[in-house]
Amino acid sequence: MTPPTPGAPASPPASGTVPSPYEPLALYGPDFAADPHGHYRRLRAQGPLGRVRIAPGVDALLVTDYQAAVDLLRDTDTFSKDPRAWQAGIPEDSPVLPVLGYRPTALFSDGAVHTRYREAVNDTLALLEPHLLRAYAAQAAQQFIATFSATGTGDLIAQYARLLPLRVFSACFGVAPRDSERLLHGVAGMMDSAANAAAAYADLVAVVAGLVAERRVRPGRDLTTYLLAHPAGLDDDEAVRQITLIISAGHDPTTNLIGNALLRMLSDTGYGGSLHGGAMTAREAIDEVLWRDPPLANMGAHYPRHDTEFHGVPLRAGQLVLVSFAAANTQSLPAVSDPAVRSGDGAHLAWSAGPHRCPAKQPALLMAMTAIEQITSQLCDLELAVDPSELIWRPGPFHRAPAHLPVRFTPLDTHP
């Protein structure tokens, strides 16, 4: 029997037959969340691209090969970021549309349109002065730590990592404190790709639209006001969409970078499984996470502009091709476990590559470093309260995100 072409669309199996070895592998739900790297290993057996299902009825090809990932991310002649043709065949209520569905933003545009949005985003992010960003992040960290430091226990996701980036974004964009909670639910709901994802995204947009309307009439000293005055001349909807993109693309991955790096520091037996002795630095933990468990695990959605062949795999015009940054990074795991390799951040794809690479690497790193340094210096005998194998991971195909990180520590005496 001729084996199926790797990554090629397989015909549905006749009932009663053994399923094709290349049936789409589900990239969502508890099984995937519990063992993503096992899934990537199985997908690699198909070649550089594997067939995946990212939600009920929504299939994609996933690039798991490092070189193929780099080639795709840089090849703007063959691949577009505009999902509209693909989206026409997807149910309107699909839980992946809040992440993948078209909006007039940098993430979903090509060429000159992308350049216009990207310049507005880049110039706005450039106003995030490192010392101010560090100060905002440190102040937020101290406030959140104070809410549980006297108790001796805490959840470093719910009470810390999940709150911090959004608090910083709210301060920078001038979001009213009363709206911060809504932003938080909006971003988390959209990334989990659960049944309420569309409503969560709609509420996120509503909060940002209110902010933009207010700053049009009452400018402030914040990034929203700056973006509205940018020479790109964004209209209200375009401004709302770029801010929503910055907040959603920024908050959830930064939360997960903080959470995953703290988990790495608290559970790495090679480092004593403890922060005592301080062998693993925040930067080392962050680098390991960016290599092994990048917060945006599978993303980089692209659509072939025409029927083509890519790394030996036939592709149809408009079909969804995703990049597994996690699989590409870990293609040769032994090299990654070498400290000399893992301490470098040059070659991994956690920030993507090509024209759509993350524009916020430095601010994201600064926030994560500050968050980790603040908590590990204040609660210096922090340890995990459960075995790492008992941790629950958030569902969804796109992110790598612990749902909780229960810890214990010697309570701080908060009385003067």
Interface residues with ligand HEM (CB under 6 A) are: 106-107, 118, 121, 245-246, 249-250, 253-254, 257, 290, 294-296, 299-301, 325, 350-352, 356, 358-360, 363-364
CA distance 56 to 29: 11
DSSP 8-state class, residue 160: I
Indicate the residue among 268 and 345 with the shorter CB distance to ligand HEM: 345
CB contact at 8 A, 170 and 181 = no
Task: State the minimum distance, in angstroms, from the CB of residue 229 to ligand HEM.
Answer: 19
Calculate the dihedral angle through the C-alpha atoms of 84, 96, 197, 92, rounding to the nearest 10 degrees.
Answer: 50
CA distance 396 to 256: 13
Amino acid at 389: S
Instruction: Return the H-helix or E-strand segment holding 191.
Output: helix 177-191
Indicate the residue among 43 and 106 with the shorter CB distance to ligand HEM: 106
Task: State the minimum distance, in angstroms, from the CB of residue 299 to ligand HEM.
Answer: 4
Angle at 394 between CA 175 and CA 382, to 5 degrees: 80
Task: State the minimum distance, in angstroms, from the CB of residue 354 to ligand HEM.
Answer: 8
Task: State the minimum distance, in angstroms, from the CB of residue 296 to ligand HEM.
Answer: 4
Indicate the residue among 148 and 351 with the shorter CB distance to ligand HEM: 351
CA distance 148 to 161: 13
| Torsion sign over Cα 323, 327, 332, 335 | positive
Indicate the residue among 22 and 282 with the shorter CB distance to ligand HEM: 282
Task: State the minimum distance, in angstroms, from the CB of residue 208 to ligand HEM.
Answer: 14
Task: State the minimum distance, in angstroms, from the CB of residue 268 to ligand HEM.
Answer: 19
**Token pair in block for residue 52:** 């995946």
Reported as half-sphere exposure (CB side, CA atoms, 13 A), residue 121 has a value of: 26
Indicate the residue among 145 and 364 with the shorter CB distance to ligand HEM: 364
Indicate the residue among 350 and 391 with the shorter CB distance to ligand HEM: 350
CB contact at 8 A, 284 and 343 = yes
